[in-house]
Chains A and B, each alone.
Chain A
Amino acid sequence: MGEHMQNLQRIRAIAAHYRSLQGLRMLPWFLWILLFGAVNPALGLPQGRLDYQLLLIVPGLVVPWAVSRWIGAYYDRAFGQIEGLPPRNRALEALAGVTFVVVAFLGFLADSLQRWPVSLFGLVMAVAMFVQWWRSGRFLTHYLVTAALLAAISMLPLFGIPASGHWYTLLGGFAFPIMLGLVLSLGSVLGHILLVRSLKLLSQVKP
């Protein structure tokens, strides 16, 4: 009975978090963030001036968007589709989303205007990653790892890093995207492997 119930709980978990387990869907976005972090210092653009970078970022977004849609179609075809349960409180979810965007923007602005003992933008992102881990069933550990690493990197100014210059030079334009891109890309591949292995395991248990 124990094993049977365990399998049923696994079935419930996969159905409830199916979208989060489709890790490859988000992989193009995470690779794009990684690429941004890798090439950003080499571009030699005025650091901290997002307006220059937007000229490169916006057209570059088309590629991950298109690849992500193509991967999504593969998931739908190979693994099927589900429509998730509606959020318990739609208004609260929307409010949380808007609050995150506003607070993240204010954090970025505050970091750009003055050097603080910690990166406020980094801490907001760390909280967002923690919330994402919590929301996605608490088994997608890479979001938790990302939250911890982001929080740690945000503390670097406390230890005098970067020694001089704008926070964006080392943290915002390099350390954050490189770390986010690396850990989340790895995590998304692991999420996909978890999905495939769980489905294989369940299909071997003939009901």
Chain B
Amino acid sequence: MTEAFEALAGLDRLVHEPARLALLTALSACRSADFVFLQRLTGLTKGNLSTHLSKLEEAGLVEIEKQFIGKKPNTLVRLTPEGRAAIEQHWQALERLHRDAQQWQGVDGRQ
């Protein structure tokens, strides 16, 4: 069980924060997504979403591109290769932890 706690402690906090994990998960399933989609998907306020995206951009996990579609501004977000690797590793770690947690439940149930 100690190994599992170490694994939990070893999770990247920047990625593991629930809102950012949701954003990175969504972005990992597409090439790019715009600000409106990410807001609808996560239910975050504009301010909160901007803050989280800025943190991810500073860490080099996402790229943000501001453009105009017609006369309307549009913010496009995509994962960088580092971001894609980070979220994939994170998901693998989460799934390992989930499996371990189920095994402990099985052990507890037998005792």
Contact = CB atoms under 8 A, between A and B. Distances in A.
Interface of A: 1-2, 4-5, 7-8, 11-16, 18, 77-86, 199, 202-207
Given A11-B22, A12-B25, A12-B26, A82 B44 contact: no
Given A18-B30, A80-B35, A203-B41, 15 more contacts: A1-B98, A8-B21, A11-B41, A12-B26, A15-B29, A79-B37, A80-B37, A81-B34, A83-B30, A85-B30, A86-B31, A199-B40, A204-B43, A207-B18, A207-B43
A16 B36 CA distance: 16
A15 B30 contact: yes
Contact of A203 (B28, B37, B42): B42
Contacts, number: 89
Interface centre among A13, A14, A78 (most CB of B within 10 A): A14
A53 B38 CA distance: 45
Nearest to A200: B43
A207 B30 contact: no
A85 B30 CA distance: 5
The 8 closest A-B pairs by CB, nearest first: A80-B37, A203-B43, A80-B36, A207-B19, A207-B18, A15-B29, A16-B29, A82-B33
A84 B30 contact: yes
Contacts of A5: 94, 98
B22 A82 contact: no
A16 B18 CA distance: 19
A77 B39 CA distance: 12
B37 A16 contact: no
A51 B26 CA distance: 47
A16 B97 CA distance: 24
Contacts of A207: 17-19, 21-22, 42-44
Contacts of B44: 207
B33 A80 contact: yes
Residue from the set B27, B37, B97 with the largest chain A CB neighbour count within 10 Å: B37
A2 B105 CA distance: 13
A42 B25 CA distance: 52
